[in-house]
Amino acid sequence: MAIKKWLNHPIVVCASLGIVSFLLIIGLQSLDIVEGLELRVFDKLLSQRPSEMIDNRIVIISETEPDIRRFGHPLSDQVFADALQKAEDAGARVIGVDKYRDIPTPPGSDNLSNVLKQYENIVWIFFGGDQKQNFVAAPAALEGSIARTAFNNILEDPDGVARRGLLFSDVNGTSYYSFPLLLSVYYLANENMAVQLDDQQTLNINGISVPKIDSNFGGYHEADTGGYQIMLDYPALPQSFSIYTLSDLLDNKVPADALKNKIVLFGAMAPSLQDYWLLPNEVTRFGIEYHGYFISQILNMATKQKQPLRAISDNAEYGWLLFWCLIGSFAGLYRGGILFFVLMLIEFTVLLGSNIFLLNQGWWLPLIAPLLGWICALFVSVFYFFTQTRAERGQLMKLFERHVSAEVASHLWEVRDQFFSKDGIQPDTVTATILFTDLSNFTTISEHMEPLVLMNWLNEYMEEMSQLVMAHGGMIDKYIGDAIMAIFGVPVKRETEEAIANDAKQAVACAIEFGHKLGELNQKWEAQGLPTVTMRTGIFTGTVVAGSFGSSQRMEYTVIGDTVNTASRLESFDKTIAAPTRDHPCRILIGNLTHHYVQDNYQTEVVGECLLKGKTDMLKIYHIIAKI
């Protein structure tokens, strides 16, 4: 019993529901249902960060549709040789070419090779290969040079968005730099800023540690994180870099200092070349721009000491998820009312606000998983307690709905916590007034009536008397043949003498109304040819034990104790004393404590001190004559 009570404690229930919700969300994560939402939300939150200026250290020389019409496609080696020489002459610190040139494209192949050999600050891309396309080599003059060639592979998430970037990758058994990283290394070397691997093989950029992400980083779940990957934060997106066309460069239309000491990127920006990539928040950019944002992020790490995006450990993420599941489940305790909605608003604001704040500080915490956990736990908790409350109300009303007035039943539900438990009504000692009634000569009357007529006649009597009991705030406890037992002072416990006295007064007032109503019924029955009757009432006030009694299949609320027995004995006491008559069809006998409460309101007479049947103490008995 103690274990069952402990298991049903609200705190234990809420904790259990929170854990169940936690396990459910973990299951959803394993099915990759949550990851897509996490990534979308990450994109939105990324766009809410404080805006940054576009990086002016990067300039793009674009191959546009007019350039293709002018120079043809693919561009010849001579065009590249001339363009690279122009950039070198303009003082570019480092030059990156994002164009495939695995096959020489004359004329000018020798000239291009000479330019590449003459200038060591030119980096050319190659493609490392993937599931869609095979390896594409760098120009022959640079092929195999780790210091001059770099892969330009771009990683896409399942939804096609490029959110991650490769820094290193093994290609044909050799580890190469990515295009953005190698260009950044060249640029930072001129600033005396080192980019190197530490003893744990973690990249260090001018003192900033840049660990590679794992497969469950942030909102990812078992992502392919081969190579050395980091999250991209796209500084200044969706702003664009300084861009000049290839024709501008070759026609000397680029301002004299525009390329000086800059990272100059050559790449395709002609729609017909279809080098489009999808960036966060549905922003579409050309591949060369993607590399520009990546380079800018690396440079900011070195020059601004900006930390890369980080994520907490898997265990910490589980703890964060469990925390919000428990927050949601415990919030179910406050269901209903304005407080509940205010609490929901505060909790949601804290969850969302903490994620935005931490992302601005460089930490990516999953939002969708804890949000779903919070919502799931909240709804499960609210549903559980609603169902429990409904079951309790049903059980409570089953005990009382036919025995008390609607007002009492409603009040009873409002104060249910005072006496309701999992096993029924909590037994309690209360002071109540017990009323018993019985019809005079009922046995003789019933012997001369047809059963159906008798039943209808008796039901009419019971209906009228029951309505009077409930109208006076009493509770019908039971019907015993033609007898009625009613209780005043339950099920809501009376805490003051005034309330106890009022119950006694209401019981006596009810009994007097019995007499008036029975007089009306007798006139009606006499006109219908039905027998008339009188009744006796016994009323006694005292302590009783109130609670639910019976078996698990049939339970009812009642009271037990000496007070009940005394009220019953008062009803059946010496039927010749103050016997009811046609004009006064209801005899009312009360005990001394009831008399104490009603003596100022009713005219009474002492019947005497008598030893009631089954009792050992003498009891003074009073007869109610009339209301004063």
| Three-state SS annotation for 23-73 | HHHHHHHHCCCCHHHHHHHHHHHHHCCCCCCCCCCEEEEEECHHHHHHHCC
What does the alpha-carbon distance between residue 574 and residue 572 come to, in Å, rounded to a whole number?
7
Residues 6+ apart with CB under 8 A from 50: 360
What does the alpha-carbon distance between residue 124 and residue 152 come to, in Å, rounded to a whole number?
9
Amino acid sitting at position 36: G
Asked if residue 465 lies in contact with residue 481, where contact means CB atoms within 8 angstroms, the answer is no
pLDDT of residue 415: 63
Is the whole model's pTM more than 0.85, yes or no? no
What does the alpha-carbon distance between residue 288 and residue 59 come to, in Å, rounded to a whole number?
10
Amino acid sitting at position 435: L
Show the beta-strand stretches assigned E in 66-148.
Answer: 94-98, 122-126
What does the alpha-carbon distance between residue 291 and residue 184 come to, in Å, rounded to a whole number?
11
What does the alpha-carbon distance between residue 295 and residue 264 come to, in Å, rounded to a whole number?
11
What does the alpha-carbon distance between residue 182 and residue 121 come to, in Å, rounded to a whole number?
10
Nearest 5 degrees, angle CA 342-CA 346-CA 347? 115
Half-sphere exposure of 238 (CA within 13 A, CB side): 12
Architecture of the domain made up of 419-627: 2-Layer Sandwich (3.30)
How is the chain split into domains, by residue range?
A: 2-31+313-394, 51-303, 419-627
Amino acid sitting at position 140: A
Nearest CA to 433 out of 514, 535, 512, 502 is that of: 502
How far separated are the first and last CA of the chain, in Å rounded?
A: 54
What does the alpha-carbon distance between residue 10 and residue 334 come to, in Å, rounded to a whole number?
12
What does the alpha-carbon distance between residue 127 and residue 232 come to, in Å, rounded to a whole number?
20
Q: Which residues, given as ranges, of the chain have pLDDT below 70?
A: 1-8, 392-425, 552, 612-615
Nearest CA to 619 out of 570, 559, 571 is that of: 570
What does the alpha-carbon distance between residue 471 and residue 406 come to, in Å, rounded to a whole number?
10
Asked if residue 372 lies in contact with residue 25, where contact means CB atoms within 8 angstroms, the answer is yes
pLDDT of residue 493: 85
Q: How many CB atoms lie within 10 A of CB 530?
A: 18
Q: How many CB atoms lie within 10 A of CB 154?
A: 18
Asked if residue 508 lies in contact with residue 594, where contact means CB atoms within 8 angstroms, the answer is yes
186-221 core/surface letters (b: 16 or more CB in 10 A; e: else): bbbeeeebebeeeeeeebbbbebebbbbeebbbbbb
